[in-house]
Amino acid sequence: NIPSSSMKPTLLIGDFLFVSKFSYGYSKHSFPFSPPLFTGRTSERGPERGDVVVFKLPSDGRTDFIKRVIGLP
C-alpha cells in the first residue's frame, strides 16, 4: 500500500495497487530459477514520462518503491 503522500494526487496514503511485472517485457529476472533462455528484454517498450513504476533497490530487495517517471535519457 502507499505509505506517504509523495504520489498525490494520483495515489493517496493507504491506496493499494495491482501491479503488472511484465509491462516492459520479460527478462532473465522474470524467471529466476530457469535456465537463461534469452538476454535483454522480450519487449522494446520502455518506461515513458508519467508512468508509475514499482521497483526494488539492489541494496534492499525487500522494499517496494513506487515512483513516477519524470526524466528520461
20 an active-site residue?
no
Three cell numbers, residue 48 = 515513458
4 an active-site residue?
no
Catalytic residue among 6, 23, 30, 43: 6
Catalytic residue among 8, 21, 56, 67: 67
Q: Would you name the residues annotated as active-site residues?
A: 6, 67
